[in-house]
Structure 1
């Protein structure tokens, strides 16, 4: 779901209605896709990844665990998978609550999903603990440079 005033169609994401998304699934237009919540789909369009690579640019995905692992499986050594986590679930709860963008029920669902995803962190190439933004940015920059120099 689009966060008004924060995300822009065609820039941050392509926001498709469920029926449009399902049509693209039928066309096999995605490298990967997932129905994250009922009637809420996320996916990686092949056309966008291919367009970016044709321009000799790197692709950075901000996706959930299932999508990340699916892409790693598809792209293998061409991709670096990073699991970004907080030190504990309580910290995550505080950060999400501070945003004030979700109901208590939505917050509970997100926290539960995050806890489940944290159980799979070890399946990623790199685990980044985001306690301090500046430190985390420095760490991930180093890891990306190492990966790109291979």
Structure 2
């Protein structure tokens, strides 16, 4: 029987560097996992590609997916929808692949309810001053939007208690290394491997009997 893959949920405040850390993880080829591309209604930023960074959809298209039950999770954030298409995630997990989700905090809480056996990692900035600096340096948001994001970030950091791990993104390479160690350890947890060993014992007993 094919072992089901592990769901890895990476989230945190806007501007903390989730996308940068995710790209570094994928570029490093540390582990054979699949990245589940999120869907959003926000405008495409310079350098982004549809179907690579996000599935960029209109509000009407996104709401149709919601109505049809096609989203594992979704949330509205600063006026735009963000969410995870369900079909792709289930297929990869059923095929035994680990799946990485990079999603907003509200969405992660929805996934927590539906997939309690997932690994939930909260990526946090060193402090809110540094987060504001990163948002400003990114140059994609107006000052009032940045202030809204900072206020939202404070609320989201308070929700860290709902996660399994907290990783500070002070340096991307260090953050990736910390996450890789978490994933490696999670694969060795007894609840994840016990069925394999029970199967091994049953097979051995059947041969001996």
* TM-score, structure 1 normalization: 0.90
The residue number in structure 2 matching 1:14 is 55
Contact 2:71 2:86 (8 Å CA) reproduced: yes
Q: Cα distance, 1:55 vs. partner?
A: 4.2
Contact 2:125 2:170 (8 Å CA) reproduced: yes
SS of residue paired to 2:167: strand
Q: Cα distance, 1:12 vs. partner?
A: 2.1
Contact 1:83 1:127 (8 Å CA) reproduced: yes
More strand by proportion, 1 or 2? 2
Aligned to 2:86, which of 46, 49, 54? 46
The residue number in structure 2 matching 1:4 is 45
Alignment of structure 1 residues 1-150 onto 2, 5 Å: 1-38=42-79, 40-77=80-117, 79-150=118-189
- Rg comparison, structure with higher value: 2
Q: Cα distance, 1:51 vs. partner?
A: 3.1
Q: CA separation in 2, counterparts of 1:43 and 1:99?
A: 22
Structure 1 stretch displaced more, 55-64 or 108-117: 55-64
SS of residue paired to 2:90: helix
Q: CA RMSD in A?
A: 1.5
The residue number in structure 1 matching 2:16 is none
Task: For structure 2, list consecutive stretches of 5 or more residues without a partner in the other structure.
Answer: 1-41, 190-209
Q: Cα distance, 1:11 vs. partner?
A: 2.0
Contact 1:69 1:81 (8 Å CA) reproduced: no
Q: Cα distance, 1:4 vs. partner?
A: 3.0
Q: CA separation in 1, counterparts of 2:162 and 2:120?
A: 9
Q: CA separation in 2, counterparts of 1:55 and 1:5?
A: 34
* TM-score, structure 2 normalization: 0.66
Give aligned pairs, total.
148
Deviations 1:79-138 (A, max 9, x none): 100110012100100111111111101111111111110111121000011112222111
SS of residue paired to 2:75: strand
SS of residue paired to 2:99: coil
